[in-house]
Amino acid sequence: MKDMNLLQNKLLSARKDAGLTRPSVCKVLGIGIQTLYRYEKGITVPSIEQIKILSKLYKVPITYFI
């Protein structure tokens, strides 16, 4: 559970640090706002493909999320 907490915190902080809104990220990923909300709250986990996209979008290495 600790790892999940770490991931959710990193997803949220990376998005905010990148200055991006949930709707803009959802548009790039092709997902709904509720799905991104669930990722950032630790309810569900994004796929590795989505993590790759997020790392590019947020300008962080993919290892940041691992």
pLDDT by residue (tens digit) across 31-47? 999 999 999 999 999 99
Domain count, the chain: 1
- Tell me if 45 sits within 8 A of 39, measured CB to CB: yes
Continuous H helices in 1-66:
2-17, 22-29, 33-41, 48-58
Reported pTM: 0.88
Give residue for tokens 């996209």. Answer: 53
pLDDT digits (tens, 9 = 90+) for 11-22: 999 999 999 999
Closest to 36 measured CA to CA, from 55, 20, 23, 19:
23
Q: Which residue range(s) make up the domain with 36?
A: 2-65
Residue 26 CA, chain-centre distance (Å), reads 10
CATH number of the domain residue 57 falls in: 1.10.260.40
